[in-house]
Chain A
């Protein structure tokens, strides 16, 4: 009798147990596939390990990986490249995403098709998108060079992937193209939740379109904007395939972000202890950046 009462999850005092019980499989799974590798990574970052094996004895504790990392020009360059990418791509994704969302939020003929076209880049797998862009920007036979020459913008072909600035611009372009539809979809959802009455009242008061955007639309969208920007920022931070397929981090490390550097050290040079240290620093930067963005946003985010 006492045993059955102990297991009686319908009792008000035991009801929260059911919640924990239902959550347990998910928590265990997350612990297994996220938390455990995270701990292994942190542990590896404090060892001088080339190729890591779980069954090999633990190497002596050392902070050499971090000392080398902070003294490395490549690391600070990767931080700067990542910062530039996050800032530029997030800004243009936001601009384009909000612009297209405002556009397709209007009622017009072909609205459904326009919404589909706006969302299309999001549905295309990253690697396929990158291959298409690689050919568009091909230095010898790409469409962009042909177009620029025909329009008289340049008199000789641009070596898109041999120039650090051009390569960085191409990476940003592809990332914005791939990332803005997500912002657009989120903004569209936000726009549709703004009551029409707000706009009607503003129109009665004589507010122009720009004033309605600045004083009604943007403030009403702030909760969505905050969350979306954090998600876009984290996506740019960790994105690997676009840069890897397009430039591999080159030329002259102009597009080498922290994620590319981590991969190169781990699987290119087989320095897994050092790569883990970069991964740990990347994680810390990501957490701090996200926390700052959320903390600085208005309370309603």
Chain B
């Protein structure tokens, strides 16, 4: 009797498998997803919630989520793609996806967008995802810098919150001092990363170049560094770094920690600064506001795409994953969990505004940067971005170390950037 039941069950299962090929195919399927944000508080939790939703709505399909450190990310992804084993769900920084797209490694998303009727109108930073007139990714974050200042340190010096570059410079000069009298400056007016990658170095500089009215390139992609505005911006950067109003040779994380611990008075940074402030010694002294510069630094951050080499059935599943991540529901939860402005204009951010006291400020900063069309990746130099950023960093360092005239440095940068474009 038992044997008969078993045989019948087996036959029924075999039949079901035969009649439902899609279901059988999905059984035990694993999609690979590599990201540097896995353990990040907030945004990592949000990715986790997207994966949970995907697995719940796609029985039998699992997502294998692997963390790769940001420092090794470009190498790892390049190796995976070059070896013909790319992750199905492709997560890249917005300044590095262009090389992958240019190699044809990212699946064009336009047919998927059309089929699913995903409305990307007004989606912050989405223009960046267009490569050779095709949409190859969806933008997952566009941000604007906010201004954080240590109110106690300002009050001690009788300073008001700076509203312009001149006020900022005066405040930074007054706040940079040797507090304990050991001959070493231990409190800084402001803080910038001056060690590490060219991309971050450029972002730090842009606080000053944008306020001076300078841009690396214009809307047509023509290099515009050798202009009076950029020269003024370079002069400002030189003043801040050469006179050590910022600690020297520190990575971005170290500068943020110093600010959170009350050793730096004024700091311009992205939405990720807030969680660090919350864990710092000076968290009660730190207040947030709009940056004293116009427009604020802003830019696209990270993108999501589909590997062109992924099997056809996987591509459809990856699109389902992207559709969940870009849905109104999950864009709204992105605001709450990630405490960052979501790129979707349809996201409901009311809960995030209640949970995160400065959320409206983040929205305002993002809008200000987006309205001014600010991005860290200069138009016309997308493919050469890493080389361009490295060149900008080196020429700026040369200007500071060798005390060069910003006018001459701007001319050198202009020539080198134009040569890069011609490569």
Contact = CB atoms under 8 A, between A and B. Distances in A.
Given A50-B99, A268-B390, A161 B195 contact: yes
B196 A54 contact: no
Contacts of B183: 149, 155-156
A55 B84 contact: yes
A162 B182 contact: no
B186 A141 contact: yes
B84 A54 contact: yes
A148 to B, nearest CB: 10
A149 B196 contact: no
A162 B82 contact: no
A253 B75 CA distance: 21
Contact of B401 (A156, A162, A264): A162
Interface string B303-335: 000000000000000000000000000000000
B74 interface: yes
Nearest to B398: A252
A184 interface: no
Contact of B247 (A55, A139, A251): A139
Given A162-B400, A252-B401, A157 B184 contact: yes
A139 B241 CA distance: 13
A53 B308 CA distance: 14
B248 A140 contact: yes
B249 A160 contact: yes
A140 B247 contact: yes
Contact of A162 (B194, B197, B393): B194
A98 B183 CA distance: 39
A145 B184 contact: yes
B397 interface: yes
Interface residues of A, number: 32
A269 B387 contact: yes
B111 interface: no
B100 to A, nearest CB: 8
A264 B195 CA distance: 16
B386 interface: yes
B193 to A, nearest CB: 12
Interface string B182-210: 11111010000011110000000000000
A61 interface: no
Nearest to B79: A267
B262 to A, nearest CB: 14
Contacts of A52: 82
A160 B194 CA distance: 13
A140 B250 contact: yes
A269 B194 CA distance: 20
Contact of A138 (B196, B249, B400): B249
A78 B214 CA distance: 33
B143 to A, nearest CB: 24
Contacts of A121: none
B310 to A, nearest CB: 15
A51 B185 contact: no
A267 B75 contact: yes
Interface string A231-269: 000000000000000001011110000000000100111
Contacts of A145: 184
Contacts of A248: 195-197
A51 B182 contact: no
Interface in B395-415: 397-398, 400-401
Contacts of B247: 139-141
A91 interface: no
Contacts of A264: 390
A140 B248 CA distance: 7
Nearest to B251: A134
Nearest to A145: B184
A252 B394 contact: yes
Contacts of A161: 195, 248-249
B266 to A, nearest CB: 16
A122 interface: no
Contacts of A146: 182, 184
B22 interface: no
A268 B386 CA distance: 6
Contacts of B194: 162
Contacts of A252: 394, 397-398, 401
A20 to B, nearest CB: 33
B182 A149 contact: yes
22 contacts: A53-B84, A54-B84, A139-B247, A139-B249, A140-B184, A140-B185, A140-B249, A141-B186, A155-B183, A159-B249, A162-B248, A163-B401, A164-B401, A248-B196, A250-B393, A250-B394, A252-B397, A252-B401, A267-B78, A268-B74, A268-B386, A270-B78
Interface of A: 50-55, 138-141, 145-146, 149, 155-157, 159-164, 248, 250-253, 264, 267-270
Given A162-B401, A267-B74, A270-B78, 12 more contacts: A51-B103, A54-B83, A140-B184, A140-B247, A145-B184, A157-B184, A162-B248, A162-B397, A248-B197, A252-B401, A253-B394, A269-B387
Interface of B: 74-75, 78, 81-84, 99, 103, 182-186, 188, 194-197, 247-250, 386-387, 390, 393-394, 397-398, 400-401
